[in-house]
Chain A
Amino acid sequence: MVEEVRDKARELLSAGTVECVIGYERATDGITARPLFAYSPEEADRFILDRTCVHNLARYLLDRKGKPTAVVVKPCDSRTINLLVHENQIERDKVFAIGVTCPGVVEAHWGETTEGLQSRCGSCPLEVPVVYDHLITVPGERQPRTGFPELEKLEAMSPQERLEFWQQQFQRCIRCYACRQVCPGCYCPICFVDQLDPMWVGIKIAPPENQVWHLIRAFHLAGRCIECGECQRVCPVNIPLMLLNQKLTAEVEGMFDFRPGLDAETLPPFATFRKEELEAER
């Protein structure tokens, strides 16, 4: 099926349908993958497709607004396209989505990969991309959906235990903002942490400030996070960021029966309301 990706890319580039095809190529460790931006049919020869292809390439559409671009998207990644189209960040007709079905991806960090799949693959509601202009079927069986097991572990703890757990996690945060930069939902021209007046967070790197950063970023993605897991993957100090996003995903789904990015039309929960509904207090 990797030949299908290469063929399609060559076809699109030769015909001038797109200026660039974003896919995956082998990284310099010979084991993991990295994004490849192919601008010519010859460059498309380098594309690969396998379980190390973890990156959400659709995020790069934000860098290429208005430019016809093809992008290889797994089911989770394809939700990005719906999200960004709905939020008026990209034009649908400038994107050619090369959708690939996905049996799950492994944990991949430079120099090593795991045997087993990423835990988020177990919570994925999709087998086929939700939006595509061409579909490539990848062989392999998917893990059945198992909910969010790590959430249950945390919810079983007392508030004090949870407080200590997160203190320990946020202690390691170095505010590299890789989580923000890699996230397709984080595209504010000036992020709230970079605001000077008022200076909500500032430059101090310490657990209290780190907590404000992570909580508010998670909240800004509530009802918008498409669960690509990139934030957790890129974190250089292994903070389990997806726990925050999964918690909110579960709450949003429970309260509003909504999961973002499955289509480009449905209004997200914070953009709408029902006159009679949940009472928040008590």
Chain B
Amino acid sequence: MDMNGGPRIVGFLCNWCSYAGADMAGTSRMSYPPNIRIIRVPCSGRVDPLLVVKSFQQGADGVLVAGCHPGDCHYTEGNYYARRRFALLRPLLDFVGIEQERLRLEWVSASEGRKFSRAVASFQEELERLGPRGHRG
């Protein structure tokens, strides 16, 4: 649990699109839940499943990975690899008791501040519905 009582969310946002999108949400004063801790990465393709699993091990209730829309990746194809990777990681996590819904992949462009803030809000709702993680680790 976050110190505000909400679920702890770790967000890996790609520098070029989704981080800028989140930034836009902020500058446009669109509110989104404060319990997401954002980590900027160059590309969603950089997000190693190890980072996700480690986040869960350290107490995260949910992990959000956000990148450019397919076809718009700043590095051309990073997000295509990310898409495959997380398509496979979610069932693996589910298989060991970490519900699939706790790992989310979103495509957020630099101008989609509203999409970002809605995504975080809906993720938070989902995580509240699922409840806190059963055991740590």
Contact = CB atoms under 8 A, between A and B. Distances in A.
- Direct contact between the two chains A and B in their complex (CB within 8 A): yes
A248 B92 contact: yes
Interface string A216-243: 1011001000000000000000000001
Given A163-B97, A200-B54, A255-B87, A218 B92 contact: yes
A247 B89 CA distance: 11
A269 B83 CA distance: 11
B56 to A, nearest CB: 9
Interface residues of B, number: 34
Contacts of B77: 273
A119 interface: no
Given A208-B137, A219-B49, A244 B88 contact: no
B134 A192 contact: no
Contacts of A208: 57, 136-137
Contacts of A118: none
Interface string A158-191: 0111111111000000000000000000000000
A218 B96 CA distance: 12
Interface string B52-81: 011001000000000000110000010011
A251 B100 CA distance: 14
> Could you tell me the dominant secondary structure of chain B's interface residues?
helix
Contact of B137 (A211, A251, A280, A282): A211
B57 A219 contact: no
Contacts of A279: 83
Given A160-B134, A207-B137, A212-B54, A166 B83 contact: no
Contact of A280 (B49, B87, B98): B87
A262 interface: no
A211 B57 CA distance: 8
B92 A244 contact: yes
Contacts of B86: 280-281
B90 A247 contact: no
Contacts of A269: 84, 88
Contact of A212 (B57, B89, B104): B57
B106 to A, nearest CB: 6
A125 to B, nearest CB: 20
B17 interface: no
Contacts of A251: 88, 91-92
B3 interface: no
Contacts of A222: 88, 92
A252 interface: yes
B29 interface: no
A154 B95 contact: yes
Nearest to A276: B70
Given A270-B84, A275-B71, A280-B87, A166 B96 contact: yes
7 contacts: A160-B97, A160-B134, A207-B137, A212-B53, A243-B95, A255-B84, A275-B71
Given A160-B134, A273-B84, A280-B86, 5 more contacts: A160-B97, A211-B53, A244-B96, A251-B88, A251-B92
- Closest 9 A-B residue pairs measured CB to CB? A208-B137, A163-B97, A273-B80, A162-B97, A280-B87, A281-B105, A280-B86, A166-B96, A280-B105
